[in-house]
A and B are shown apart, each in its own frame.
Chain A
Amino acid sequence: MVRKLSTRRRHPLAGFVVLLFALVVAGGLYSAFRPAVADESGKSDAQLIAEGRQLYEVGCASCHGLNAEGIITERGKNIGPPLIGVGAAAVDFQVSTGRMPMARPDTQAPDKPRTYDEGEVDKLAAYIASLGPGPAIPDPEYYDVSEATDEQIARGGEFFRTNCTACHNFAGVGGALPEGRYAPSLHGVEPIHIYEAMLTGPQQMPVFSDEVLTPLQKRDVIAYIKTLEDQTAYGGLELGSRGPVGEGLWGWTFGIGALVLAAVWIANNGVRAERKKP
């Protein structure tokens, strides 16, 4: 056996085998002896809040103030608004969708790849929630729309057209607001974030409190938005779902373009046997 090994120790693959073996051993040892992963759920609220505060001081305090009291400029405008009383739902929406922290001061915070993972968002949310009472992160029963009935969806559509389309467009693809601000597209947004946005009214959006739209009505709206996402395009290509502007553009380019080309073709061909050379 030993002899066998020693004769093959110069085999071209020997190096790889040894490396593989060493990696497996090292990895196995690490997984056996690594420090136990901190279980977030087991942490006490106080611990979460304390860790959230630490994260806050690093990532948020430069705009929102060391105690989340907000920072006012000399001209009375916000660098960052106060966060006392905005609630955990606002933090979850802003940070989970990547809107916060902002990349730069701008008219509006766009959604972008998130900076904090879920555990960190929970800590930040716990810290902000501890500063004053505000809307909490909703329970899944209010935004889980997998079971929604046609009736609920139709009702949600009514609420959607009454409250949302004015800014987000009839198909939920977004629209412009004054001064370079905009209502973003609703396609591909997580149901929980739609719910939280209605609840907290981020940026330009008005707050749809539970008195205005009850939690179940909010769920119906979310259900309608989700059906918009995967609805069959009955009429063919949707041309951006932006209404008559897109249609006019296509009519003039594709429609008139094709017909004028046809006219050129008809006028140049047909009777003459040979084409006129200039």
Chain B
Amino acid sequence: MSSSTAARSKAGAASRSTAGVVTWLDERLGIGALTKKQLRKVFPDHWSFMLGEIALWSFVILLLTGTFLSFWFKPSMAEVEYMGSYANLRGLHMSEAYASTLDLSFDVRGGLLMRQMHHWSANLFLASMTIHMLRVFFTGAFRKPRELNWMIGLALLMLGIIEGFAGYSLPDDLLSGTGLRIAQGLMLSIPVVGSYISFFVFGGEFPGDDFIPRLYTVHVLLVPGILLALITAHMLLLVYHKHTQFPGPGRTNNNVVGFPLMPVYMAKAGGFFFIVFGVTALMGGLLQINPIWMYGPYNPAEVTAGSQPDWYMGWLEGGLRIMPNWETNLWGYTLSWNVLIPGVLLLGVLFALLAFYPFIERWITGDDREHHLLERPRNAPTRTAFGVAGMTAYALLWIAGGNDILAYEFGLSLNAITYFMRVAIFVVPVLAFIITRRWCLSLQRHDREVVLHGYETGVIVRSPDGSYAEIHRPINPVRAYELTMHEQHTPVEAPAASDANGVPAPAQGKERLRSRLSHFWYADDVSKPTKEELEAAAHHATNGSHALEDGHGPASGNGAHLGIETSGIVGGQDFGLEQKPKAP
């Protein structure tokens, strides 16, 4: 097979014996034919394509460290008297879950390191999934044919959050219990079935003795199993769809330009695992996380200042913290809007929006083609603006979740922060949307400018009659190609209200709505330069620079053109009167 021939071409006993092993395996399992194609799978080089890999490797670290922890952790609510090494808690009665976590931290060699690595890597797992998702969103990588993979990724994120929260709740320390109490509150707020759900989940009254063992099964078996399966599906689809890439010379919608898995990306990705592991180990060794011995065992009568969930639940906590205390009493039953809206509905709304976004955008734009080339965020201004508005809302809720820490650290009033957030959560995302959209359009304009008129050299030339102009030089063709090869979007037009014979078309409200949305989506896009414009610009640039060298001032025909076209002119007398070429 090819692998054995390749190996044989190398000299040396080591490679011969490797080849021998590979041949032996190949003859029995057919791995050569099986993996030949996949080993040549092409990965394009871009740092942002490796963000998902951080999540993958974090998951591996979670499995490794989690297995270690499971050897000692006892998921039991049985009451024991702690007699371990940590003097400040010795003699106290606590659950076996908490006591075994203390033992893990203080009496198992390397236990605290593993616990901290596990926790840091959970934080990094979710953080890297989030930034990976943002990368996919802002570059439009979720478009056909990748919508399903987008939804799988979203399921991974949601399961990751559940998994993280389960892990946070297992040690039965004060923060765990406080968090679980909030989770129980969320269940209770669900109309009609809330109390039944709570009783079902906790096996009776909160906290009860059943929940920790149940949660443990969910945490080490159920959710990791689903996560593993979904990660496999995610990666199989990645292989099936092939990797996306940014547009560039030679990189089209029909190919992938990059380096093969074997040997280049095997080394790069494999190496990255060790970097991720190293960073996680450093954090686990040097940065304290979740010091459960400081929190103490859970006791429903206790709570601590600075009770927050881990970061990925922080935005929900923020929603709870800024929600006004609205309640409705219906026929003797209380509807707790104050918990239901931020705790349950908000989560549902976010994930529903994210899950259906690819389909919403596809409907609005009417774009049913396959996309393997990524879009730069500026070339999809409305999508980018939506994304930034969403991030802004998320960030505001996030900040609100830490309102007490902010108030204390910065000497602010807790109430003032809360009142501000109640307004900001509605206003600031809208502002962010408008600003981002304008920003993207300006960047498009800038791209057009740079392609047509070159980049600013910073060289200012004074003409004989005293006016100044900055020399622009054409950008290199590769860059120009990158800046112009995105597609020019056109809004969907509404069908005519009546046909050629004047017969009114049947009701088409949906189509008209779509057209309006589509115009909103695309109509402001700056058109990219046409071939004629490019040629004209090149012509002007050449003539213009000659004109300057020939000593013609900007007031004379060609020079004036130069001044306007480059738009970098300073002090041209009739500058204000000249029309800048309008974007068609």
Contacts and interface: CB of A to CB of B under 8 A. Distances in A.
A254 B89 contact: no
A40 interface: no
Interface in A232-258: 233-239, 241-248, 250-252, 254-256, 258
B505 interface: no
A266 to B, nearest CB: 5
Interface stretch (B12-20, B410-418, B511-519): B410-418
B457 to A, nearest CB: 14
Contacts of A233: 288
Interface string B520-563: 00000000000000000000000000000000000000000000
Interface string B282-300: 0101111111011110010
Interface stretch (B43-51, B214-222, B367-375): B43-51
A121 B301 CA distance: 38
A180 B286 contact: no
Contacts of A157: 88-89, 92, 296
A227 B89 CA distance: 12
B91 A170 contact: no
Contact of B112 (A151, A182, A235, A244): A235
Nearest to B306: A243
Contact of B105 (A234, A251, A263): A234
B291 A151 contact: no
B47 A247 contact: no
A170 B272 contact: no
B92 A158 contact: yes
A169 B305 contact: yes
B327 interface: no
Contacts of A168: 305
Given A170-B174, A176-B414, A180-B413, A247 B289 contact: yes
A255 B139 CA distance: 24
B175 interface: yes
Contacts of A179: 413-415
Interface centre among A170, A250, A258, A266 (most CB of B within 10 A): A170
B279 A259 contact: yes
Interface stretch (A86-94, A207-215, A267-275): A267-275
Interface stretch (B122-130, B151-159, B380-388): B122-130
A125 interface: no
Contacts of A20: none
The B contact surface, by secondary structure, is: helix
Interface string B104-126: 01100000100010001001100
Contacts of A135: none
B402 interface: yes
B352 to A, nearest CB: 25
Contact of A256 (B131, B295, B314, B402): B131
A216 interface: no
Interface string B233-260: 0000000000000000000000000010
Interface in B50-97: 50-51, 53-54, 87-92
B404 A176 contact: yes
B410 to A, nearest CB: 10
B555 to A, nearest CB: 35
Contacts of A250: 283, 287
A252 B311 CA distance: 9
B89 A243 contact: no
A260 interface: yes
A171 interface: yes
Interface of A: 150-151, 153-154, 157-158, 161-162, 165-171, 174-180, 182-183, 224, 227-228, 231, 233-239, 241-248, 250-252, 254-256, 258-260, 262-264, 266-268, 270-271, 278
What are the nearest 4 A-B pairs in CB distance? A175-B305, A235-B288, A248-B311, A180-B413
18 contacts: A150-B87, A154-B92, A158-B92, A165-B304, A166-B304, A167-B305, A178-B413, A224-B88, A234-B105, A236-B285, A243-B304, A252-B127, A255-B124, A256-B128, A259-B279, A264-B47, A266-B272, A271-B45
